[in-house]
């Protein structure tokens, strides 16, 4: 068996099943359209964060271009939805992911020639350049409205569920996104234990040693780029089709700061980290919605405090507390069998 | 002919200001091995100081520049104390380069949003330092403001070089850049040197901000584009190489001026990025960078 979910105990499976069940039933009970919109948007951001966490946390490639990849997925699928209406929307969303995977592959080639901080710089400026180019697009002369709609945002597209009423629409998108989230969480958990996952994680922690053991670092990282690019593209396409719009501000510095904060608060490189981080930050954002400007101030401060004092984020904190409790419970016994170290670069 | 003069003149001016903003990043990276993402917000802070001093209080231009230098020096020192100092002694357990990339980014978010709350989202007009302009050839004019900006940038970059080469503190900075542990055992006060270095680098960006504010505006996001260009310049020049940064700054300036004159501003970043990709594919450590060698 190449990969696996073997590290999950029966208790964990029960917990996961319960969580999924509650999440699936939730929109039947709760129908407030305002909060449902926020929740569905958060789900889409969570999909993006899962993809980003895969390349950033697990593969340890400091790719800060993920938002551009996400946006390109939105634009690509939007182009199909707008101009090729015979193609089913679901296919268009997948094709957006494929386009993003392709661009991610192209980005990986020059990026992986570089090392360390150069990687983040190149990808960071890639994101900025894509943003500025998209913003200027109507003036670039590709067509009248351009490929991206420029600063006006992408024109409205027929979404996945064009004839649904508001309540059913929100509920349907909620379930679609939930499905993608569950599938990608399991995929990431499975990949962690696969050849690729081990190669990526050991390449992150000890690149020279890993290369000496005959692992092709470049191939593994390119695979990570392509996989995470695909998921990011799907997230972008879902965002466009759900919100009926996509503006260049979706890939600016502000969303980048928010997403990085989500990842770091949750715990980089873990499977559950993005879920926790996205939930916490979305809650903070929703609470502070009446105090514009404070959101980012609070998040910036939180990011600083978490990185310095709680490296490993909340997941790291939980597993440390958990391990301490189990050590305390089993004092005198054999040391508790390996709850493996939370897996991240920022660990304390 | 007109085009050539315009490209050279604008390239020179862009290059000087990019050099001033980027050289601080290089200085910090060369000494501390930290990429300071708060450098853009220092430019922004500098342009607000320029607006406050010149437009609100009508002080002398030189006073405004010195004031911007002092304010951003303090801001930069504080940034270091908050975002880098707590991590230095944990360098063994955390990846310092990457963690400080995030913490300085967090500081940038904080400063930008505090400015947004205090000054509001609207652009403020920063008066130019010197008014008037000179016509080089028919159709190509350069304002005295831009000339002063280029001149002062070059003077500041030169004095940074002198500071590093000739003074005791400069020697200490270079020693730390070469070998941290050896410098420490020779009695270099590293914990005091780090904040000062970051303050100095921020102050250079702050002075640049007063000029850039005069060219454009002071606004909470005024630092984003300078940060992007500074990043492009330091990557192209090779992180930590001062001479590489200066070459790269003028190269980027010239490429930008060329694209603007020939193809218009909308294409600038795209073409610039393509050029940089091409250079990095051939030289992965930039023009003058080297993988492990001590720099500065």
How many angstroms separate the CA atoms of A144 and A137, rounded? 10
Chain B residues with CB-CB distance to A126 below 8 A: 273
- Residue B78: which residues within 8 A CB-CB, separation 6 or more? none
Q: Which residue of chain A has the CA closest to B34?
A: A117
Chain B residues with CB-CB distance to A293 below 8 A: 113, 116-117
Query: Could you tell me the two tokens for A304?
Result: 């600083």
A304 and chain B in contact, CB less than 8 A: yes
> Who has greater pLDDT, B21 or A143?
B21
Determine, for residues A114 and B106 on separate chains, whether the beta-carbon distance falls below 8 Å: no
Q: Provide the pLDDT for residue A1.
A: 41
Q: Provide the pLDDT for residue A320.
A: 80
* pLDDT tens track for B198-250: 999 999 999 999 988 888 888 888 888 888 888 888 888 887 788 888 999 99
Q: Which residue of chain A has the CA closest to B281?
A: A110
From B167's Cα to the closest Cα of chain A, the distance in A is 30
Q: Provide the pLDDT for residue A275.
A: 92
Beta bridge partners of B135: B141
CB pairs under 8 A between A and B: 123
A227 and chain B in contact, CB less than 8 A: no
How many angstroms separate the CA atoms of B209 and B225, rounded? 12
B8 and chain A in contact, CB less than 8 A: no
| % chain A with pLDDT above 90 | 31
Q: Provide the pLDDT for residue A204.
A: 86
How many angstroms separate the CA atoms of A277 and A36, rounded? 19
Q: Provide the pLDDT for residue B293.
A: 42
How many angstroms separate the CA atoms of A3 and B162, rounded? 59
Chain B residues with CB-CB distance to A140 below 8 A: 266-267
In Å, how far are A28, A249, A298, B197 from B93, measured between CA atoms? 47, 36, 27, 24
Burial track B18-37 (b if 16+ CB lie within 10 A, e otherwise): bbbbbbbbbbbbbbbbbbbb
Chain A residues with CB-CB distance to B270 below 8 A: 129, 132-133
Most confidently modeled of A84-93, A305-314, B63-72?
B63-72
Q: Provide the pLDDT for residue B92.
A: 67
How many angstroms separate the CA atoms of B132 and B109, rounded? 36
Quote the Cα angle for B280-B38-B175, to 5°. 70
Q: What 3-state class would DSSP assign to B154?
A: helix
Query: Could you tell me the two tokens for B21?
Result: 């903003």
Q: Which residue of chain B has the CA closest to A300?
A: B106
- Residue A53: which residues within 8 A CB-CB, separation 6 or more? A188, A263, A268, A269, A270, A273, A274
From B88's Cα to the closest Cα of chain A, the distance in A is 11
Mean pLDDT is lowest, of A180-184, A246-250, B165-169, for A246-250
Query: Could you tell me the two tokens for A11?
Result: 């208790």
Query: Could you tell me the two tokens for A207?
Result: 């690149």
How many angstroms separate the CA atoms of B296 and B292, rounded? 13
Q: Provide the pLDDT for residue A146.
A: 64
Q: Provide the pLDDT for residue A2.
A: 54
Contact criterion met (CB below 8 Å) for B163 and B45: no
- ipTM confidence score: 0.80
Contact criterion met (CB below 8 Å) for A255 and A304: no
Q: What 3-state class would DSSP assign to B189?
A: coil
Going by pLDDT thresholds of 50, 70 and 90, the confidence category of residue A40 is very high
Q: Provide the pLDDT for residue A99.
A: 95
Mean pLDDT is lowest, of A30-34, A55-59, B280-284, for B280-284
If one counts every other C-beta atom within 10 angstroms of the C-beta of residue B203, the result is 25
Q: Which residue of chain A has the CA closest to B35?
A: A117
Going by pLDDT thresholds of 50, 70 and 90, the confidence category of residue B137 is confident
- The residue of B35, B105, B121, B239 whose CB has the most chain A CBs within 10 angstroms, and thus the best one to mutate to test that interface, is B105
Contact criterion met (CB below 8 Å) for B126 and B225: no
Residues B67-75, mean pLDDT to the nearest whole number:
95
From A176's Cα to the closest Cα of chain B, the distance in A is 33
Q: Which of B148, B143, B141 minimizes the C-alpha distance to B6?
A: B141
How many angstroms separate the CA atoms of A10 and A7, rounded? 10
**DSSP-assigned letter for residue B77:** H
Return the domain boundaries, chain A: 10-251, 253-348
From B267's Cα to the closest Cα of chain A, the distance in A is 8
B229 and chain A in contact, CB less than 8 A: no
How many angstroms separate the CA atoms of B54 and B48, rounded? 10
Residue B294: φ, ψ to 5°? -70, 145
If one counts every other C-beta atom within 10 angstroms of the C-beta of residue B133, the result is 14
* Interface subset of B 24-43, CB within 8 angstroms of A: 29, 35
Determine, for residues B231 and A303 on separate chains, whether the beta-carbon distance falls below 8 Å: no
* Interface subset of B 64-83, CB within 8 angstroms of A: 82-83
Determine, for residues A117 and B98 on separate chains, whether the beta-carbon distance falls below 8 Å: yes
Q: Provide the pLDDT for residue A185.
A: 92
Residues A21-38, mean pLDDT to the nearest whole number:
89
How many angstroms separate the CA atoms of B26 and B237, rounded? 9
Determine, for residues A304 and B110 on separate chains, whether the beta-carbon distance falls below 8 Å: yes
Dmax (CA) for chain B in angstroms is 61
Surface-to-core class of residue A334, CB atoms within 10 Å of its CB (0-12 exposed, 13-18 middle, 19+ buried) = exposed
Per-chain mean pLDDT for chain A: 84
From A41's Cα to the closest Cα of chain B, the distance in A is 23
- Is the pTM higher than 0.95? The answer reads no
Going by pLDDT thresholds of 50, 70 and 90, the confidence category of residue B296 is very low
Q: Provide the pLDDT for residue B91.
A: 67
How many angstroms separate the CA atoms of A255 and A127, rounded? 12
Q: Provide the pLDDT for residue A343.
A: 46
Beta bridge partners of B134: B142
How many angstroms separate the CA atoms of A36 and B290, rounded? 52
Q: Provide the pLDDT for residue B3.
A: 82
Give the DSSP H or E segment for A339.
none
Q: Provide the pLDDT for residue A339.
A: 47
B232 and chain A in contact, CB less than 8 A: yes
* Interface subset of A 175-214, CB within 8 angstroms of B: none
How many angstroms separate the CA atoms of A260 and A299, rounded? 10
Of the candidates A110, A118, A121, which has its C-beta nearest B277's C-beta?
A110
Chain B residues with CB-CB distance to A261 below 8 A: 106
**DSSP-assigned letter for residue B121:** S
Q: Which residue of chain A has the CA closest to B91?
A: A348
If one counts every other C-beta atom within 10 angstroms of the C-beta of residue A221, the result is 24
DSSP per residue, A208-265: HHHHHTT--HHHHHHHHHHHHHHHHHHHHHHHHHHHS---GGGGSHHHHHHHHHHHHH
Beta bridge partners of B143: B133
Of the candidates A110, A126, A345, which has its C-beta nearest B95's C-beta?
A345
A291 and chain B in contact, CB less than 8 A: no
Determine, for residues A297 and B114 on separate chains, whether the beta-carbon distance falls below 8 Å: yes
* Interface subset of B 134-193, CB within 8 angstroms of A: none
B216 and chain A in contact, CB less than 8 A: no
A311 and chain B in contact, CB less than 8 A: yes
From A55's Cα to the closest Cα of chain B, the distance in A is 14
C-alpha torsion sign, points B127, B130, B132, B133 = negative
């Amino acid at each position: 068996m190449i990969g696996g979910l073997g590290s999950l105990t029966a208790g964990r499976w029960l917990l996961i099943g319960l969580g999924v069940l509650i999440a699936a039933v939730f929109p039947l009970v709760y129908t407030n359209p305002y909060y449902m919109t926020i929740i569905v948007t958060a789900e889409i951001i969570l999909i993006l964060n899962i993809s980003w966490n895969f390349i950033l946390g697990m593969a340890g490639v400091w790719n800060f271009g993920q938002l551009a990849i996400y946006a390109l997925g939105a634009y690509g699928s939007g182009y199909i939805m707008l101009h090729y209406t015979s193609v089913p929307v679901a296919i268009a969303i997948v094709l957006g992911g494929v386009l993003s995977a392709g661009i991610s592959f192209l980005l990986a080639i020059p990026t992986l020639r570089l090392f360390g901080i150069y990687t983040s710089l190149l990808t960071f400026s890639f994101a900025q350049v894509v943003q500025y180019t998209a913003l200027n697009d109507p003036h670039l002369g590709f067509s009248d409205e351009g490929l991206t709609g420029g600063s006006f945002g992408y024109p409205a597209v027929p979404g996945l569920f064009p004839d649904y009423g508001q309540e059913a629409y929100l509920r349907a998108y909620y379930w679609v996104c939930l499905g993608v989230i569950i599938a990608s969480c399991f995929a990431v958990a499975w990949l962690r234990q696969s050849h690729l996952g081990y190669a990526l994680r050991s390449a992150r922690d000890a690149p020279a040693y890993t290369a000496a053991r005959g692992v092709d670092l470049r191939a593994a990282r390119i695979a990570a780029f392509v996989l995470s690019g695909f998921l990011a593209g799907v997230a972008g396409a879902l965002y466009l089709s759900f919100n009926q719009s996509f503006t260049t501000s979706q890939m600016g510095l502000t969303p980048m700061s928010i997403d990085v904060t989500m990842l770091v608060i949750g715990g980089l490189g873990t499977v559950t980290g993005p879920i926790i981080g996205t939930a916490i930050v979305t809650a903070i954002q929703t609470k502070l919605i009446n105090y514009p400007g404070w959101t980012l101030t609070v998040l910036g401060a939180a990011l600083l405090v978490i990185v310095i004092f709680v490296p490993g984020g909340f997941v790291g904190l939980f597993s440390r507390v958990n391990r301490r409790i189990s050590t305390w419970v089993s004092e005198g016994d054999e040391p508790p069998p390996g709850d493996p170290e939370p897996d991240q670069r920022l660990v304390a | 002919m007109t085009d050539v003069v315009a490209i050279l003149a604008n390239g020179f001016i862009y290059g000087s200001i990019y050099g001033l903003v980027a050289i601080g990043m290089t200085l910090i990276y060369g000494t501390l091995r930290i990429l300071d993402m708060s450098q853009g917000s220092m430019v922004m802070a500098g342009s607000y100081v320029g607006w406050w001093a010149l437009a609100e209080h009508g002080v002398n231009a030189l006073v405004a520049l010195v004031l911007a230098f002092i304010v951003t020096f303090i801001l930069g020192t504080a940034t270091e104390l908050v975002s880098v100092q707590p991590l230095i002694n944990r360098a063994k357990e955390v990846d310092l380069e990457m963690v400080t990339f995030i913490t300085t980014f967090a500081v940038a978010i904080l400063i930008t949003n505090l400015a947004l709350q205090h000054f509001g989202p609207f652009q403020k007009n920063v008066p130019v330092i010197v008014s008037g302009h000179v016509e080089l050839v028919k159709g190509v004019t350069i304002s005295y403001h831009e000339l002063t900006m280029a001149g002062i940038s070059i003077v500041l970059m030169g004095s940074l070089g002198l500071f590093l080469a000739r003074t005791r503190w400069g020697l200490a900075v270079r020693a730390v850049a070469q070998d941290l542990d050896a410098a420490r055992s020779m009695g270099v006060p590293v914990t005091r040197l780090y904040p000062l270095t970051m303050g100095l680098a921020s102050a250079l960006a702050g002075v640049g901000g007063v000029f850039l504010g005069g060219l454009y505006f002071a606004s909470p996001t005024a630092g984003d584009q300078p940060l992007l260009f500074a990043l492009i310049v330091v990557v192209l020049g090779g992180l930590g190489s001062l001479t590489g940064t200066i070459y790269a700054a003028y190269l980027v300036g010239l490429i930008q001026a060329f694209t603007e004159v020939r193809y218009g501003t909308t294409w600038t970043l795209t073409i610039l990025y393509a050029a940089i990709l091409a250079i990095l594919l051939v030289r992965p450590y930039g023009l003058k960078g080297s993988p492990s060698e001590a720099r500065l």
